Amino acid sequence: MNTLTVGIIGAGRIGKVHANTILTQLPHIKIKYIADTWAGAKKYVESLNGLHFTQNIDDIFNDKEIEAVLICSSTDTHVEYIIKAANAKKHIFCEKPVDHDLNRIILAKEAVELNGVKFQIGFNRRFDHNFLAVKKAIDTHQIGDVRFINITSRDPEAPPIEYVKVSGGMFMDMTIHDFDMARFLAGSEVKEVYAKGVVMVDKAIGDAGDIDSAAIILTFENGSIGIINNCREASYGYDQRVEVFGSKGSVEIKNDTISSAIISTKNGVVAEKPLHFFMQRYTQSYKDEMIQFIESIQNNTETKTNIIDGLKSVEIAKAAVLSYKENRVVKL
């Protein structure tokens, strides 16, 4: 695989995840710049030998050596940076969501298509070995026609209130991964959404105008039903499970753990807790999604997740918000 030169925008948590993945596991990717408008990010970037830091985001778009841009900044900047990258003829990897506004996502989509660049949205769970095993069982018709998709997704602890206030809400920043996974597994578009949400974990989350626990029912065009349950806090760790029930059987995946050892004694049966959070649970998927992005550029093939996937997931999230607020089924 030939070396690809990239620039990363955003040195926050997810930007650091991608930078670390590239530097430690993907030698065929060269990071030239890491850009962040926050001056404090300079110390982190300079700790990575040989990388350049800039507070001027345009340095990445103007650098002809950079072939692709990884957008890991706050959601409100995504569309602006997508359009600038597309107009500079640079391929784009963008973290989810593309934006909270559907019309702005369409503007980004038009810029990508007009300039003929590759675009991949960061739905990394599609590249996870567990979810891919479920998808394979569905696609090879081992479980027959899909009837129910049950998704459990719970974080180990609630995020800071400062994050809650700007995240776009639980359905947009957390459940959006589950909306995408449900579409991915169903192989069909959502036609109806019904959502219930409550505050169980932290009253401050409710005071900030959000919820921390939710249940969502999705009805798909092919007749299957998706059921998602979310919570901002699971005392035992990062809870990521799926079961798909079909006409011939079912397939399910459990949590990844440090080991699969189960110790049974007269005092009881003890097993490992789930891996603590997404950075541990999805290490492999972050690597594989980046490999696929690069291969799509070098082989001129389609990306596995595209801007339409980004658009559809936001449509569902917005429908879930409306359903929760108005206590009714929302049709897409």
pLDDT at 279 over 70: no
Residue-number span of the structural domain to which 155 is assigned: 126-282+313-331
79 token code pair: 């569309």
CA atoms of 72 and 18, how far apart (whole Å): 9
pLDDT at 257 over 90: no
- Mean per-residue pLDDT for 134-151? 98
Shared domain check, 110 and 34: yes
Of 60, 89, 117, the residue that ends a domain is 117
With b meaning 16 or more CB within 10 Å and e meaning fewer, what string describes 48-75?
A: beebbbbeebebbbebeebbbbbbbbeb
pLDDT at 235 over 80: yes
Shared domain check, 145 and 84: no
Shared domain check, 277 and 167: yes
Q: Is residue 242 part of a domain?
A: yes
Helices (H), the chain: 13-25, 41-46, 58-62, 78-87, 102-115, 129-139, 161-166, 170-173, 175-186, 203-207, 278-281, 283-298, 307-326
Give me the CATH number covering residue 88: 3.40.50.720
- Of 322, 33, 285, the C-alpha closest to 177 is 285
Shared domain check, 133 and 97: no
DSSP-assigned letters across all residues of 137-163: HHHTTTT-SEEEEEEEEE-SSPPPHHH
User: Which segment of 20-34, 105-119, 260-274, 300-314 scores lowest on mean pLDDT?
Assistant: 260-274
Q: Tell me the pLDDT tens digit for each residue of 144-193.
A: 999 999 999 999 999 999 999 989 999 999 999 999 999 999 999 999 99
Shared domain check, 132 and 109: no
Shared domain check, 269 and 144: yes
Give me the CATH number covering residue 144: 3.30.360.10
How sure is the predictor about 94, in pLDDT bands with cuts at 50, 70 and 90? very high
Shared domain check, 199 and 156: yes
Shared domain check, 146 and 260: yes
**154 CB burial (10 A radius; 0-12, 13-18, 19+):** buried
Q: Tell me the pLDDT tens digit for each residue of 32-76.
A: 999 999 998 999 999 998 789 999 999 999 999 999 999 999 999
Number of domains composing the chain = 2
